[in-house]
Amino acid sequence: MVCFVGIDIAKNTIDVATHLPNGKHRTRGKLANNPAGFVELDSWLLKHAEPGAVVVMEATSVYHEAVAEHLYNQGYHVHVVNPKAVYHYRKSEMTGVKTDKVDAKLIADFAKDKHQRKPLRAWKPEPVARRRLRALLRRLEDLQQMLQMERNRLDVSDNTVHASICSVINHIEQQIKETQQAIKDHIDDDPDLRGKRDLMVSIDGIGEKTAAVILGELGDPLDYDGPRSLVKFAGLNPELAESGNYRGPSPISRAGSPRLRSALYLPCVTAITYNPVMAAMAKRLKANGKVGKQVVCAVMRKMLHIIYGVLKSGQPFDPKLALAR
């Protein structure tokens, strides 16, 4: 019988739970989320979980990464799931109490129920090059937000502090330029990242900046089961609302990466004009009554399909082939 372990992760602590034969749970709370706490976690798992147990945790900013990698290296089957999936499971179980210990139990139950019906997607540590790319992209995003904040301050501040704010703006702008160059150099220096970027920028509408974000957010798109998995990860899959004769709106799920959706939006708006495949698709959708963001979201889904196709084939984008399909 497979042993399922649920782990609830906070910035500084870890709570863990597994099932007992009588249907209840064995728990261990408030382990430190650091190497010393991982040693305690190892001892607890050796005593209460079988080797190769299925360990499930939520993606929690960057706080889950160290413990996930540690357990992966210890030989456990690690799965990092979308917090929204656990949230909906909690709602279905009508669990009113929310504490770290209860969450660990809930994640263990979620793992058991979901994994037995359809195995959860296995997690594995990302290559160092990909982690560094994402760190650079996150830093660039932070700098751009800081720049906008300082520009907003400049608009409303007294003349007395203008010089100080302008000095900060100049410094941030220089940091942005250096970080953008560091991102380009990092991709150029890595053959795998460079090859994938070059294939993606062959698609009309995708530039180097967008390709970098896609590589940083998705990792290797070929690690996914297929283009539909990419769409789901991006939160672009529609949520149908139908019952009997009722046909409600079908918004996108927004369950995936908001950074990826944001990065794709404007390139896909551009692609509707300059990419013949997207232009034909948009024209067809508009003729069927779709408008505005409905069209753009559909184009964003199509773009992820095309990205997956060019990476899997290893061939640059050919609009003639895409239109023929």
DSSP code of residue 21: T
* Dihedral angle of Cα 179, 183, 188, 193, to the nearest 10 degrees: 170
| HSE-CB for 8 with a 13 A CA cutoff | 22
| pLDDT band, residue 160 (cuts 50/70/90) | very high
Which of 206 and 242 is assigned the larger pLDDT? 206
Please tell me the least confidently modeled range out of 3-12, 42-51, 89-98, 159-168.
89-98
Q: Of all residues in the chain, what percent are helix, strand and coil, respectively (each to 5)?
A: 60, 10, 25
Alpha carbon distance, N-terminus to C-terminus of the chain: 46
Mean pLDDT of 287-299: 90
pLDDT of residue 250: 67
pLDDT of residue 238: 78
pLDDT, one tens digit per residue, over 16-66 is 999 998 889 999 989 999 999 999 999 999 999 888 889 999 988 889 999
Average model confidence (pLDDT) for the chain?
A: 89
| pLDDT band, residue 148 (cuts 50/70/90) | very high
DSSP letters, 123-141, are --PPPHHHHHHHHHHHHHH
pLDDT of residue 60: 87
Is residue 150 within 8 Å of residue 169, measured between CB atoms? yes
Which has the closest alpha carbon to 15: 30, 37, 33?
30
Dmax of the chain from CA atoms? Answer: 71
pLDDT of residue 35: 94
pLDDT of residue 141: 95
Mean pLDDT of 160-187: 96
Which of 320 and 47 is assigned the larger pLDDT? 47
Mean pLDDT of 106-111: 91
pLDDT of residue 245: 58
pLDDT of residue 114: 85
**C-alpha distances in angstroms, 153 versus 144, 147, 165, 169, 238?**
14, 10, 8, 10, 39
Amino acid in position 207:
G
pLDDT of residue 6 exceeding 60, the answer is yes
Is residue 197 within 8 Å of residue 187, measured between CB atoms? yes
pLDDT of residue 317 exceeding 90, the answer is yes
pLDDT of residue 249: 63
pLDDT of residue 88: 82
DSSP code of residue 244: T
Which has the closest alpha carbon to 281: 272, 292, 270?
272
What residue ranges in the chain does DSSP mark as E strands?
A: 4-9, 13-19, 25-32, 54-58, 77-81, 242-243, 246-247
